[in-house]
């Protein structure tokens, strides 16, 4: 069941919410100092004590807690430091509530922000009443009521976490976004395409070719996913790398490009009406533009003779493509205009640079670079300057791990990628400066070519 309404309400008596335009946390300053946040366990405000209802409340709490920790803006205060028992106090401060909490108890332990909430369940629905306070000013930032089916508990939690970030930083969070990835999660030796929440929850398989499916890509509007699958031809019985288009809303699939050879590496135009991809047609792979009927609109690269031009990535403003090419003898990253003009090489170091990915604002490009025996994730300015290295993980045997397939979060603060540091190719992400890193998938399957949706 979808989240069907969010009702905002404010105190109108002793406590008033501050201006919605106020910025409480400046993003640049948050890199050097995290805000101290107290977030006690949610109270069960209903008479229900069923295992299912309590589990839903606990899930909301744990998802919110993880979201806020991941944000890198907060340091959560250990509950052992609390000076009053939140479970025995109301969600509003005294004296506006008879058994209200005391701001002084939270100021004394250095709390900057306080979140107090409770949930109730009735007839398969869950309601979350929750408040965010700025403790130093004894002020309400916002209070809201969220109501949805119990099955949408995680969505309620992600929605609240987004609201917290929007209220404190002025910038929307990425907690309602999705990722798509190729994995052997459900298919033994084959790989299929899955969609899941950004944190790896709620995986849904969207392809079923019993073959190798790879390189999924979101349309900017989040309504379609293009991917390549090696599909057996009826006449020749040989498998060909064909490009498919999956409609997320209807669940329908269409064959988009099935020219003999490679049809892979899709990237959508900003209006979601065209696709850039690599087509070989028995020759060296080149980058083409096709429409959603599969018709070729234009050929954007033409060699040089024997060179591969692959992995096109469109910038969000639709003005440029980044791509990989081995035309200099080693595979390097290039950019060009989306009509194929003004080709420019932007990486020169390392042995092999691949999988370019534009940041949402078009100012940065992430890519996987081989500097020795392994690949790591790097970020550079769109002209190739200012390069930094995000990853340097090692396997258990001490050898460097491979970190590949970078993709940006919709807010541009994080880069996600795959890494084989555990022996399996799992999904990780780090801040765009490489300061903090987290693991997303926690199983023994392999994941490849992860892509982060750019819409919520």
Q: Using the 3D structure, point to which of 123, 149, 169 is the last residue of a domain.
A: 169
Q: Is residue 3 pLDDT above 50, yes or no? A: no
Q: Nearest CA to 215 among 191, 185, 239, 248?
A: 191
Same domain, 280 and 405: yes
Same domain, 90 and 202: no
Residue range 27-44: mean pLDDT, rounded: 84
pLDDT 10s digits, 412-440: 999 999 999 999 999 999 999 999 999 99
Same domain, 242 and 381: yes
pLDDT 10s digits, 257-315: 999 999 999 999 999 999 999 999 878 999 999 999 999 999 999 989 889 999 999 99
Same domain, 204 and 137: no
For the domain that residue 132 is a member of, what is the CATH number? 3.40.50.10070
Count how many domains the chain has: 2
Residue range 403-411: mean pLDDT, rounded: 97
- pLDDT in the model for residue 14: 34
- What Å distances lie between residue 454 and 218, 392, 408, CA to CA? 8, 27, 8
Residue range 387-403: mean pLDDT, rounded: 96
Same domain, 165 and 215: no
For the domain that residue 443 is a member of, what is the CATH number? 2.120.10.30
For 63-212, strand residue ranges (E) read 74-76, 113-122, 125-134, 139-149, 178-183, 192-197, 204-205
- pLDDT in the model for residue 63: 98
Three-class HEC string of 361-378: CCCEEEEEEECCCCEEEE
Q: Using the 3D structure, point to which of 135, 169, 203 is the last residue of a domain.
A: 169
Q: How many other C-beta atoms are found inside a 10 Å radius of the C-beta of residue 235? A: 5
- pLDDT in the model for residue 305: 86
Question: Range of 200's domain?
Answer: 178-452
Same domain, 208 and 343: yes
Percent of the chain having pLDDT more than 70? 94
Same domain, 215 and 152: no
Q: Nearest CA to 8 among 99, 134, 141?
A: 141
pTM for the structure as a whole: 0.93
Q: Nearest CA to 49 among 61, 57, 60?
A: 57
Same domain, 125 and 268: no
Cα gap 75→91, rounded to integer Å: 21
Same domain, 296 and 189: yes
pLDDT 10s digits, 167-203: 999 998 999 999 999 999 986 789 999 999 999 999 9
Q: Is residue 379 pLDDT above 60, yes or no? A: yes
Same domain, 108 and 86: yes
How confident is the prediction for the chain on average, in pLDDT?
92
Q: Using the 3D structure, point to which of 169, 195, 223 is the last residue of a domain.
A: 169
Residue 56 is inside which H or E element, if any?
A: helix 51-70
DSSP labels, 15-26: --B--TT--SS-
Same domain, 225 and 102: no
For 209-351, strand residue ranges (E) read 213-218, 224-232, 239-247, 253-257, 263-268, 274-279, 286-291, 296-299, 309-314, 320-325, 332-337, 344-345
Q: Which of 122-131, 185-194, 345-354 has the lowest mean pLDDT?
A: 185-194
Same domain, 346 and 390: yes
């Amino acid at each position: 069941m979808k989240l069907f309404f969010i009702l905002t309400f404010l105190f109108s008596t002793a406590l008033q919410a501050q201006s919605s335009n106020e910025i409480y946390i400046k993003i640049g300053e948050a890199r050097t100092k995290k805000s101290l946040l107290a977030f006690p366990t949610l109270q069960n405000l209903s008479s229900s004590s069923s295992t299912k209802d309590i589990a839903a409340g606990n899930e909301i709490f744990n998802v919110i807690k993880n979201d806020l920790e991941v944000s890198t803006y907060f340091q959560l205060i250990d509950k052992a430091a609390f000076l009053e028992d939140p479970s025995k106090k109301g969600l509003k401060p005294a004296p506006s509530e008879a058994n209200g909490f005391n701001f002084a108890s939270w100021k004394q332990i250095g709390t900057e922000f306080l979140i107090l909430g409770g949930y109730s369940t009735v007839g398969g629905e869950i309601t979350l009443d929750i408040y965010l306070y700025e403790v130093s000013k004894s002020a309400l930032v916002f209070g809201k009521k969220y109501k949805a089916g119990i099955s949408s508990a995680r969505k309620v939690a992600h929605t609240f976490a987004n609201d917290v970030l929007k209220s404190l930083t002025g910038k929307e969070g990425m907690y309602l976004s999705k990722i798509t990835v190729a994995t052997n999660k459900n298919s033994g030796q084959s790989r299929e395409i899955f969609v899941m929440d950004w944190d790896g929850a709620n995986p849904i398989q969207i392809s079923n070719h019993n073959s190798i499916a790879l390189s999924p890509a979101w349309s900017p509007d989040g309504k379609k996913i293009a991917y390549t699958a090696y599909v057996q031809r009826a006449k020749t019985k040989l498998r060909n790398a064909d490009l498919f288009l999956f409609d997320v809303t209807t669940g329908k699939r269409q064959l988009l490009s099935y020219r003999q050879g490679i049809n892979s590496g899709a990237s959508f135009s900003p209006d979601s009406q065209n696709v850039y991809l690599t087509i070989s047609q028995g020759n060296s792979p080149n980058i083409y533009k096709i429409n959603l009927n599969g018709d070729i609109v234009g050929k954007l690269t033409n060699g040089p003779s024997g060179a591969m031009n692959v992995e096109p990535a469109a910038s969000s403003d639709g003005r440029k493509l980044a791509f990989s090419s081995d035309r200099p003898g080693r595979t390097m990253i290039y950019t060009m205009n989306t009509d194929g003009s003004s080709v420019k090489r932007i990486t020169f170091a390392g042995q092999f640079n691949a999988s370019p990915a534009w940041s949402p604002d078009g100012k940065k490009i992430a890519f996987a670079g081989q500097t020795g025996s392994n690949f790591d994730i790097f970020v550079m300015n769109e002209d190739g300057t200012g390069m930094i290295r995000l990853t340097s993980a090692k396997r258990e045997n001490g050898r460097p791990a491979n970190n590949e397939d970078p993709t940006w979060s919709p807010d541009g603060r994080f880069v996600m990628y795959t890494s084989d540091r555990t022996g399996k190719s799992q999904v990780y992400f780090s801040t765009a400066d490489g300061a903090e890193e987290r693991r997303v998938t926690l199983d023994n399957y392999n994941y490849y070519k992860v892509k982060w949706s750019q819409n919520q």
